[in-house]
Amino acid sequence: QRYKDAIVLFATGMGDLLIWSDGYVRLLNFRYGTVKTIKFNFEFFFSNIFDEEFRNEDLSWQPYSLAMKKYDELAYEECFGYTPLLG
């Protein structure tokens, strides 16, 4: 079973999870059904979080800023979500 030793670090405003597993920070992106290794440690994670390119490319940030403009800031226990189109 994958990531059975994982520790959830954060939930994003889009409902994705950042986890610590096997010595890596990983993004479980539920919107796209993907897992992405972000960093091999915490050394630069918190300084990179302010970098727009890091947020867009590594954390798939873009829908969040658009949703914030439309719906305002989230409460602590909330996240944005949307229903995919069914064809």
pLDDT band, very low/low/confident/very high, at 84 (cuts 50, 70, 90)? low
Give the pLDDT mean for 69-74.
88
The Cα–Cα gap between 25 and 29 comes to 13
pLDDT, tens digit (0-9, with 9 covering 90-100), for 3-57: 788 999 999 888 899 999 888 899 999 888 899 998 777 777 788 888 889 888 8
List CB contacts of 31: < 8 A, sequence separation 6 or more. 14, 15, 16, 60, 63
Residue 28: per-residue pLDDT = 92
Contact (Cβ atoms closer than 8 angstroms) between residue 58 and residue 71: no
Residues in the chain: 87
CA dihedral of residues 71, 73, 74, 75 (deg, nearest 10): -130
Q: Whole-model pTM?
A: 0.77
Tokens, residue 65: 């800023």
The Cα–Cα gap between 25 and 42 comes to 8
Residue spans of the domains in the chain: they are 7-71
Residue 18: per-residue pLDDT = 92
